[in-house]
């Protein structure tokens, strides 16, 4: 049996142009098949790359490599990018289904997971995802950020927590080698911070960050790393993890070496790493954050923890919650509110009764939750694309499969969409802004700005469309 679309390319829409969406498109174009495919990659932002552009610290050493890989995929010309198009507003599911044989949702997870403790609503209590969006120049967040605290708590023991702590403790001029926007540089330069505390519930052998992110902390100029002997508790499960897991062994060795070395150079800023601390309450005064209360934990032999009943308070004026990201519900698509994902079976989207919805798929964090690294994202895409190809003969055929149909629709609705050619113009413009900024004198010596990120959405669209 042949599909009704057997005499034309299979039309596939992918919602989300971050790594998950780009990898899915790349895998589909390279898959062994006896038919052509036509892929449109949509994103709510005018620029591609998703969380690589708006969710990773600007000084992360692997950003450039990932961006270069994504660029090569999109620059081939066999995948069409349509940016500044918001699903559920500019483009509805009914629109997509009428113009495409299948749709893959790759929208990721951009909200903070909740921290349910008293005081979370106080002024000075922030979600890490919001702060990351600010320092990464997200077009839809305020340009200013309140950076008036001298002592700060970061709750979480994952990579995002370390990114946030590193950016908060780092001297702003040392970020000029990155693409941070000018408003972010000015804000960080005025910060009076002296101490940033990172708190995790479990022990050093149970942390969720990776060795690379941990080692980055020691690269910050004029920032001492402070650790505490009472936090270095290891149970049977910890010892086993250290023996059998090279990553855990590397991180524990790094942390214990720092503890023994007692890094105290008299730096103007300190980054404290605390373990076995369970957040109990954000304490306030006059409606503002004034401190953080924790219950000391102890390991129970299995790598998990239990409370000791001992409470300890820290004077801080700001708290950043970095306990994980959470997916957002998408219009007309099922949603698991407990896990923050689209219900699916191997990437095949399921309805409320658990049955497959023909032609609708998911990949990346919106498929499996916000865990894992880039390698997991590629594995997700392989599974989802494999199932899509297996379902090809049963996909509901598009009524208007011509490539120009979606462009006509967007233009009829007045949507100022952007294209890959437009991104190349914006990319060149940001690099030109860096060149125009020239060389800046810093404590580390002269720094040449490579690029400066454009922030306002309207400017991004204008530059993309007009050059």
Helix residue ranges per DSSP H, 31-144: 51-54, 63-75, 93-99, 128-135
Helix residue ranges per DSSP H, 76-210: 93-99, 128-135, 159-169, 182-189
The pLDDT assigned to 276 comes to 97
More reliable by pLDDT, 438 or 335: 335
Average pLDDT score over residue span 58-66: 81
Question: Is residue 465's pLDDT more than 90?
Answer: yes
Q: What is the pLDDT of residues 375-388, one digit of tens each?
A: 678 888 999 999 99
CA dihedral 81, 86, 90, 94 (to 10 degrees): 90
Q: What is the pLDDT of residues 9-38, one digit of tens each?
A: 999 999 999 999 999 999 999 998 889 999
Structure tokens at 93: 């599911």
The pLDDT assigned to 105 comes to 98
How far CA 108 is from CA of 18, 65, 104, 364, 388, in Å, comes to 8, 20, 12, 6, 19
End-to-end Cα separation, the chain, in angstroms = 48
User: 216: closest CA among 264, 294, 162?
Assistant: 162
Rounded to an integer, what distance in angstroms lies between the CA atom of residue 293 and that of residue 153? 11
Q: What is the pLDDT of residues 209-248, one digit of tens each?
A: 888 889 989 989 999 999 999 999 899 999 999 999 999 9
Three-state SS string over 334-394 comes to CCECCCCECCEECCEEECCCCCEEEEEEECCHHHHCCCCCHHHHHHHHHHHHHHHHHCHHH
Average pLDDT score over residue span 91-98: 97
DSSP 3-state of 445 = strand
Average pLDDT score over residue span 380-398: 95
**Would you place residue 467 in the very low, low, confident or very high pLDDT band (cuts 50, 70, 90)?**
low
Structure tokens at 376: 């997991």
DSSP 3-state of 119 = coil
User: 460: closest CA among 43, 175, 40, 120?
Assistant: 43
Average pLDDT score over residue span 125-129: 95
The pLDDT assigned to 5 comes to 63
Q: Which residues contact 296 (CB under 8 A, 6 or more apart)?
A: 276, 277, 278, 307, 308, 310, 311, 312
- DSSP strands (E only) in 237-316: 269-274, 277-285, 288-299, 305-314
Q: Which residues contact 366 (CB under 8 A, 6 or more apart)?
A: 16, 20, 105, 106, 107, 108, 109, 327, 330, 341, 342
Question: Is residue 8's pLDDT more than 80?
Answer: yes
Express as a percent the part of the chain with pLDDT over 90.
Answer: 79
The pLDDT assigned to 56 comes to 87
Which residues partner with 291 through β-bridges?
A: 283
The pLDDT assigned to 441 comes to 80
* DSSP strand pairing (151-155 vs 195-199): parallel
Q: How many CA atoms lie within 13 A of 194 on its CB side?
A: 6
The pLDDT assigned to 369 comes to 87
The pLDDT assigned to 63 comes to 77
Express as a percent the part of the chain with pLDDT over 70.
Answer: 97
The pLDDT assigned to 325 comes to 83
CB 160 within 8 A of CB 322: yes
Question: Is residue 1's pLDDT more than 60?
Answer: no
* DSSP strand pairing (344-345 vs 439-442): unpaired
Please report where in the chains the tokens 């400066």 appear, as a residue: 452
CB 365 within 8 A of CB 347: no
The pLDDT assigned to 109 comes to 81
Rounded to an integer, what distance in angstroms lies between the CA atom of residue 158 and that of residue 77? 37
Rounded to an integer, what distance in angstroms lies between the CA atom of residue 62 and that of residue 400? 41
The pLDDT assigned to 86 comes to 97
Structure tokens at 295: 């219950």
Rounded to an integer, what distance in angstroms lies between the CA atom of residue 47 and that of residue 49? 7
CB 60 within 8 A of CB 374: no
The pLDDT assigned to 419 comes to 98
Rounded to an integer, what distance in angstroms lies between the CA atom of residue 380 and that of residue 157? 25
The pLDDT assigned to 136 comes to 95
- What is the biggest distance separating any 2 CA atoms in the chain, rounded to whole angstroms? 75
The pLDDT assigned to 4 comes to 62
Structure tokens at 224: 């001492």
The pLDDT assigned to 450 comes to 85
The pLDDT assigned to 113 comes to 84
Q: What is the pLDDT of residues 270-303, one digit of tens each?
A: 999 999 999 999 999 999 999 999 999 999 999 8
Given its phi and psi angles, is residue 167 left (phi above 0), alpha (psi -120 to 50 degrees) or beta?
alpha
The pLDDT assigned to 183 comes to 95
Rounded to an integer, what distance in angstroms lies between the CA atom of residue 384 and that of residue 344? 10
Distance of CA 26 to the CA centre of its chain: 21
């Amino acid at each position: 049996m042949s599909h009704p679309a057997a005499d034309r390319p299979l039309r596939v829409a992918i919602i989300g142009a971050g790594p998950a969406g780009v990898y899915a498109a790349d895998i589909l174009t390279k898959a062994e098949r006896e038919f052509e495919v036509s892929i449109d990659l949509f994103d709510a932002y005018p620029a591609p790359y998703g969380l690589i552009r708006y969710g990773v610290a600007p000084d992360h050493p692997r950003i450039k490599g990932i961006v270069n890989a994504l660029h090569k995929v999109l620059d081939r010309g066999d995948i069409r990018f349509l940016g500044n198009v918001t699903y559920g507003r500019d483009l509805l599911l009914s629109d997509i289904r009428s113009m495409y044989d299948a749709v893959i949702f790759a929208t990721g997870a951009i909200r903070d997971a909740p921290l349910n403790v008293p005081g979370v609503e106080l002024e000075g209590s922030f979600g890490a995802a919001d702060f990351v969006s600010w320092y990464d120049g997200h077009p839809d967040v305020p340009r200013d950020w309140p950076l008036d605290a001298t002592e700060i708590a970061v709750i979480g023991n994952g990579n995002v927590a370390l990114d946030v702590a590193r950016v908060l403790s780092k001297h702003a001029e040392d970020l000029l080698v990155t693409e941070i926007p000018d408003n972010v540089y000015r804000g960080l330069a005025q910060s009076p911070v002296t101490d940033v505390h990172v708190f995790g519930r479990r022990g050093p052998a149970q942390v969720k960050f990776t060795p690379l992110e941990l080692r980055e902390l020691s690269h910050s100029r004029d920032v001492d790393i402070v650790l505490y002997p009472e936090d270095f508790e290891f149970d049977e499960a910890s010892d086993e993890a250290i023996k059998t897991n090279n990553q855990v062994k590397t991180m524990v060795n790094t942390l214990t070496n720092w503890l023994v070395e007692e890094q105290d150079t008299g730096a103007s800023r300190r980054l404290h790493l605390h373990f076995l601390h369970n957040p109990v309450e954000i304490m306030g005064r006059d409606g503002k954050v004034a401190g953080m209360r924790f219950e000391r934990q102890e390991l129970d032999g299995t790598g998990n923890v239990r409370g000791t009943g001992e409470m300890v308070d820290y004077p801080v004026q700001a708290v950043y919650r970095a306990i994980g990201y959470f997916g957002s519900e998408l219009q007309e698509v099922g949603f698991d509110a407990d896990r923050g994902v689209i219900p699916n079976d191997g990437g095949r989207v399921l309805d409320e009764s658990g049955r497959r919805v023909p032609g609708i798929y998911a990949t990346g964090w919106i498929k499996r939750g916000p865990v894992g690294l880039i390698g997991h994202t590629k594995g997700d895409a392989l599974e989802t694309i494999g199932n899509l190809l297996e379902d090809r003969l049963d996909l509901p055929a598009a009524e208007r499969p011509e490539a120009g149909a979606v462009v006509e629709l967007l233009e009829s609705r007045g949507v100022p969409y952007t294209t890959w050619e437009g991104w190349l113009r914006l990319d060149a413009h940001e690099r030109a802004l860096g060149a125009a900024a020239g060389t800046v004198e810093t404590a580390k010596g002269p720094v040449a700005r490579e690029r400066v990120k454009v922030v306002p959405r309207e400017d991004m669209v204008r530059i993309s469309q007009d050059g």
